[in-house]
Chain A
Amino acid sequence: MNPGGILGAAAQTAAVGLGAPGLVGGMRQVRARMEGRAGPGVAQPYRDLRKLLGKQSITPEGTTVVFAAAPAVIAAATLVIAATIPLATTASPLDGAADLLAVVGLLLIGTVSLVLAGLDTGTPFGGMGASRETTIAALVEPTVLLAVFALSIPAGSSNLAVIVADTLRRPSDVLSPAGALAFAAIVVVIIAETGRLPVDNPATHLELTMVHEAMVLEYSGPKLAVIEWGAAMRLTVLLGLLVNLFAPWGVAGRHAGLVGVAAGLAAVAVKVAVAAAALAAGEVYLAKIRLFRVPELLAGSFLLGLLAVTASYFLASPQA
């Protein structure tokens, strides 16, 4: 446990916490510009959050502590992930405590707490959103774990620092067929997990087409702010994980000092911004697909994951 690692972990957690709304604002801005609109500006999510924090908190009748605690659980699970994964530094003190499988589990904890909150309200839309989100999460899970498997095999470990170090040592792994297939599978997973098009439309106003939004219809004020913040952080963290698993250049190593951590932070910020812009631009071309077409998409990505694993078995270079 070195000071650089602790500093780096603190810096990247703070950066995710503070920067996530900006990332969402930026993505909305990219989308607005491509649609010919002027857009509300990158800072709009910050204004939204500030306003929501000042609004009245309404407890819907009949809801329990599950409804009250879910926003904090989502945000907390995501913050723990942000502190763990190699965003700015690979030397996070939590790295030994949580590997890729634990990160997947923490993400699922966030999903489950929101699903339970949706069911807790007892409204038809809450239940509907919960049911749909559960279906998607249950089908995403195999793909995630297969992709994790594919990434872990070349490195011989599922610990993120090891995987990132391995990719830095042998960049050709990323360009191997296994790497490419795993990348495609993970992109689909990120789209499904963060409720982006074509799986879910984050801007919909029609309840019957909602997935994520339907579960949070009853939230208001500060709790809604925490949910929006948590969702933004989730997107940021997943994009950060994606870029650093497949293009880890710039990330600070085990012995990096202050400058190294700062450079790592800047590098990951640029990479995440580029990935987010690409995702937002891609969404302009897509329409939401029917809920029952989503399993086809996920089955496709599951197949990609399986192919990635098989490829890494049969095409892998011998262990170094």
Chain B
Amino acid sequence: MTATVESTVSAPRRGTGRPAAGLAPALAGTVTVGLGGAAGLLGVLGISGHGGGVRLGWLLPLAGVDFAVSATAGLFMLLVGLVAVAAGVYSIGYFRTSGASTITLAVAPVFTAAMLGVLAAGSVVTLLVCWEMMALASLVGVLSDHHRPAALDAGRWYAGMTQLGFVAILVGLVVLSASGGSGDMVLLGRHAGRLTPTARNAVFALTALGFGSKAGLVPLHVWLPRAHPEAPGPVSALMSAAMVAVGIYGLVRVDVQILGPGPRWWAVAVLGFGALSAVYGVLQASVSTDLKRLLAYSTTENMGVVAVGVGAGMLLIDYHRPGAAAVAIAAALVHTVAHAVFKALLFLSAGAAVAATGIRDLDRLGGLAVRMPATTILFAVGALGASGLPLGAGFVSEWLLLQALIHTEPGSGTLLAVVMPVAVGVVALSTGLGVAAMVKAFGVGFLARPRSPEAAEAREASPSMVAGMSFAAAACGVAAVAPVVLSAALDKVLGETPGVGLSAAPSLGVVLRLPGLAGSVSPAVLAAAVVSVTLAVVVLAGRAGARRRPAAVTAPLWTCGAGPLSERMEYTATSFAQPLQQVFDVVLRPEVDVEVSHAGGSEYLVERVRFRSRVDDTVELRLYRPILAAVSRWAGWVRRAHPGSVHLYIGYGAIGVTVVLVVAR
């Protein structure tokens, strides 16, 4: 009996054009690291209030380029800097072993610089220009392996979505700066009150749409699970850890700080789409069998959780609860930072596993723990962070978010009483299923025995890759036990947010405390307690009864007498997720297909059973396909008017001129 599970196998990566040799990867990596370091420095300057303005009038005709780093931008620059340093160090070894063209090598530094430009932008024009550069650079990264149809497809989706998002942001920000009378980001914040309510709502809707699509919020996420996996390891880390955070930056800076506080529906919309993204993203991640696609869906989930925090903060500001609002916004920011470090680590280590095996399909991975121990441990650190468990990088922010939701006292209003429990349910469901997804990625992908010859021949990643990942892992560790490093930045960002009590910023010392609210937790003490007690138990259990105990041995697995086990008998990612897939089949709508062929014409003798299971993106199927079909029908109609006849075109010209003359008369 055969059970075939449909899978995508990626061939060893071949870059565009001439492969770069020798020092080129080292040079590109060093530039990225340098940019990351500079970003960190600028970020610290911005947070400490010294992010003053620089104007380069000559660089861009008419508008000029303005840079000014606010505290909010400073925090995000720090984040991008961290990711860039990790990805830069990693990229040296990655591109040396897997080979890449000069263009692909140039992507990481240019992309990093563009993201920093977006964050540092002091005017609307600068922001838009850098935004477009960021989009193009990442598009080139996605297409670096453009010989593969999947990469081309991903590139098309990404280009379409990112340009639509850009148009939305462009129109929104242009309307904003036109009505505000200035293109300067700081002045805009003061003048935003001049906008008519309709214009404000329109600007909010357009910018939220654009920034939300960059952050990968449902239903604008479709590009994300295609594009992020196709990019080379370091670039996908930059995209999934840093670029989505830039989307969140836009949401916070423009929609909360400059435009806000706005009407109540803004908050509900942000929270609602965040909740939808969190649940949908985590559901898809928990049934996904492609390692990098799983991580991409997890990005959608985490950005959804961040948006829930931002939305809850906006709602609490509206209800004049500055204390709880401060906690909610702080939770969103801490989660963005934590997500950046653990997702960078996850994408880098997943990239190392893919580079070593050429396989992204979890059903064919496994056994890497023995063959790539460093990569496995580092992936585990990232996965622990992503699952939001204590000791992990994601715990602090999940805790803060739940605290903000819990501290909405009864009697605050019907809307709060309905929205907050649902938000708690969403966060809880995404935590639970997020754990399932990460357990699957780590347990099936890295533990047990290899499920394919490629996985069996995997070799440990090169030292620079391990160094890059270790840097990200160290950042995860700091985020997990010492979130206090973010304290100063959070205070400043909350100070820049209208409607939030500055005094109410959560204190993130050894014990996390919420001023004015009862509730405390200490991740550092918990981690120390769990680790030390674990060691104590190991020692005590080793000692107890040791006199009577025969010497320990290594023995074959217990196979119920039917051994030896082959890798075909192991649980795969598909089988691991099968119960969840069945429980949620209403939402996921999996396509399951069982094909039985019989031997010798007898229906009792089975020769071969083929099983195919496939989970497509429901949103894409139900929402995008009809729209795309309609657009292409329309395009077909329009094309009929273009038969290629010169005479007809001259006729069109004549009609056009006549119409203009008639109208202008």
Do A's and B's CB atoms come within 8 Å in the complex? yes
Binding site for B on A (CB under 8 A): 50, 53-62, 64, 66, 69, 71-73, 75-77, 79-80, 83, 94, 96-99, 101-102, 105-106, 108-109, 112, 115-116, 119-128, 130-132, 134-135, 137-146, 149, 152-153, 155-159, 162, 207, 217-218, 221-223, 225-226, 291-292, 295, 302, 306, 309-310, 312-314, 316, 318-319
Q: Which 5 A-B pairs have the closest CB atoms?
A: A127-B571, A141-B432, A53-B545, A122-B448, A157-B518
Q: A144 touches which one: B428, B511, B521, B559 (CB < 8 A)? A: B428
Once the chains bind, are B519 and A157 in contact (CB under 8 Å)? yes
Q: Can you list 20 A-B pairs, Cβ within 8 angstroms, ordered by A?
A: A50-B545, A53-B549, A54-B548, A56-B550, A66-B447, A73-B530, A76-B536, A97-B520, A119-B447, A122-B366, A122-B565, A127-B570, A134-B439, A134-B440, A145-B427, A146-B424, A158-B403, A159-B518, A162-B518, A312-B410
Which B residues touch A217, using CB under 8 A? Answer: 558
Cα-based distance from A57 to B431 in the complex (angstroms): 35
Given contacts A101-B399, A116-B447, A122-B449, 4 further A-B contacts (CB under 8 A): A60-B558, A106-B390, A144-B428, A145-B431
B152 to chain A, nearest CB (A): 35
Q: Which residues of B contact A50 (CB under 8 A)?
A: 545
Closest to A142 in B: B428
- Which B residues have a C-beta under 8 Å from some C-beta of A? 286, 366-367, 369-370, 387-391, 395, 398-399, 402-403, 405-407, 409-411, 417-418, 420-421, 424-425, 427-429, 431-433, 435-436, 439-440, 442-444, 447-449, 511, 517-522, 525-526, 529-530, 533-538, 541-542, 544-545, 548-560, 565, 567, 569-571, 575-580, 582-583
Residues of A contacting B521 with CB < 8 Å?
96-99, 101-102
Q: Say how far B553's CB is from chain A's closest CB, in angstroms.
A: 6
**Known contacts being A76-B537, A96-B520, is A102 close to B435, with CB within 8 Å?**
no
Contact B576 A139 (CB under 8 A): no
How many angstroms from the CA of A146 to the CA of B427 in the assembled complex?
Answer: 10
Alpha-carbon distance between A120 and B367 when the two chains are bound, in angstroms:
9
Residue picked from A109, A143, A207, A314, most chain B C-beta under 10 Å: A109
Contact yes or no, A292 B579, CB < 8 A: yes
B-side contacts of A96, CB under 8 Å: 511, 520-522
Please give, as numbers and ranges, the residues of chain A lying within 8 Å of B575 by CB-CB distance.
127, 131
What CA separation (Å) do A272 and B385 show in the bound complex?
34
Report the separation of the CA atoms of residues A121 and B443 in the bound assembly, to the nearest whole angstrom: 10
What's the Cα separation between A298 and B365 when bound, in Å?
32
State A97–B390 Cα separation when bound (angstroms).
11
Q: Do residues B554 and A58 form an inter-chain contact, with CB atoms below 8 A?
A: yes
Chain A residues near B580: list those with CB within 8 A: 134-135, 138
Give A243 to B387 CA distance when docked, in angstroms.
Answer: 29
Interchain CA distance A300-B544 in the complex, whole Å: 44
Contact yes or no, A69 B530, CB < 8 A: no
B428-A141 in contact (CB<8A): yes
Q: Which interface residue of A126, A131, A225 has the most chain B CB atoms within 10 A? A: A131
Taking a contact as CB atoms closer than 8 A, the residue among A61, A119, A146, A310 that contacts B571 in the complex is A119
A62 touching B553, Cβ below 8 Å: no
When the two chains form their complex, are residues B449 and A76 in contact, meaning their CB atoms are under 8 A apart?
A: no
Expressed in whole angstroms, the minimum distance between the Cβ of A113 and any Cβ of chain B is 10
Check if B409 sits within 8 Å of A156, measured CB to CB.
yes
A58 to B554 alpha-carbon distance, docked (Å): 6
Out of A131, A140, A319, which one reaches B576, CB within 8 Å?
Answer: A131
Q: Find the B residue at minimum CB distance from A299.
A: B583
Of all chain A residues, which has the CB nearest B578?
A131
Q: Give complex CA distance A207, B560 in Å.
A: 10
Question: Is the Cβ of B431 less than 8 Å from the Cβ of A130?
Answer: no
B387 contacts across to A, CB distance below 8 A: 112
Compute how far the CA of A54 lies from the CA of B119 in the bound complex, rounded to whole angstroms: 63
The interface residues of chain A lying within 8 Å CB-to-CB of B442 are: 116
Q: Are B549 and A54 closer than 8 Å at their CB atoms?
A: yes
Does the CB pair A120–B538 fall under 8 Å?
no
In the complex, chain A residues whose CB is within 8 Å of the CB of B576: 119, 127, 130-131, 134
Chain B residue numbers with a CB within 8 Å of A207 are 560
Q: In the complex where A59-B552, A59-B553, A310-B417 touch, is A72 in contact with B537 (Cβ < 8 A)?
A: yes
Contact A72 B435 (CB under 8 A): no
Which residues of chain B are near A119, meaning CB under 8 Å?
A: 439, 443-444, 447-448, 571, 576
* Cα–Cα distance between A158 and B408 once the two chains are bound (Å): 12
Q: How far is the CB of A73 from chain B (nearest CB, A)?
A: 5
Contact check: which of A64, A159, A312 meets B447 at CB < 8 Å? A64
Q: A64: which B residues are within 8 A, CB to CB?
A: 369-370, 447
B448 to A112, Cβ gap below 8 A?
no
CB distance from B582 to the nearest CB of A (A): 6
Cross-chain contact A306 with B409 (CB below 8 angstroms): no
A141-B429 in contact given A120-B447, A146-B421, A153-B406 (Cβ < 8 Å): yes
| Closest residue on chain B to residue A145 by CB atoms | B428
Q: Is the CB of A112 within 8 A of B435?
A: yes
CB neighbours (8 Å) of A309 from chain B are: 421, 424
- Contact check, A306 vs B425: say whether CB atoms are below 8 A apart: yes
Q: Are A313 and B421 in contact (CB under 8 A)?
A: yes
- The reply to whether A102 and B432 contact each other, CB–CB distance below 8 Å, is no
A137 and B435 form a contact (CB under 8 A): yes
Q: Please, which residues of chain B bring their CB within 8 A of the CB of A157?
A: 406, 517-519
- A144–B429 Cα gap in the complex (Å)? 10
Closest A residue by C-beta to B286:
A138
Complex formed: what's the CA distance from A217 to B542 in Å?
20
Which residues from chain B contact A125 at a C-beta distance below 8 Å?
560
**For A153, what are the chain B residues with a Cβ–Cβ distance below 8 Å?**
406, 409-410
Kindly list chain B residues whose C-beta atoms are within 8 Å of the C-beta of A314: 410, 417
Q: Do A101 and B402 have beta carbons less than 8 Å apart?
A: yes
Q: Is the CB of B519 within 8 A of A55?
A: no
- Name the residue on B nearest A139 (C-beta): B432
Q: How far is the CB of A317 from chain B (nearest CB, A)?
A: 9
Residues in B with CB closer than 8 Å to A295 are: 583
On chain B, the residues within 8 Å of A159 by CB distance are 518-520
Asked if residues A146 and B425 are in contact (CB atoms below 8 Å), the reply is yes
- Contacts of B390 on A, CB cut-off 8 Å? 98, 102, 105-106, 109
Q: Which of B565, B578, B579 has the most CB of A within 10 A?
A: B579
Question: How far is A159 from B549 in the complex, measured between Cα atoms in Å?
Answer: 44
Q: Are B534 and A73 in contact (CB under 8 A)?
A: yes
Instruction: With CB as the reference atom, state the residue of chain A lying closest to B581.
Output: A135
Q: What residues on A are CB-neighbors of B440 within 8 Å?
A: 134
Contacts of B435 in A (CB 8 A): 108, 112, 134, 137-138, 141
Task: Give the complex CA separation of A313 and B421 in angstroms.
Answer: 9
Taking CB as reference atom, which chain A residue is nearest B412?
A: A313
Residue of B nearest to A207 (CB): B560
Task: Give min CB distance, A133 to chain B, whole Å.
Answer: 9
Q: Which of A94, A144, A152 has the most CB of B within 10 A?
A: A152
Smallest CB gap from A309: residue in B: B421
Chain B nearest CB from A71 CB (Å) reads: 8
A106 close to B530 (CB less than 8 A): yes
A64–B372 Cα distance when bound, in Å, is: 12
Looking at B433, B537, B542, B544, the one whose CB has the most chain A CB atoms below 10 A away is B537
CB-CB under 8 A from B424, the residues of chain A are 145-146, 149, 309
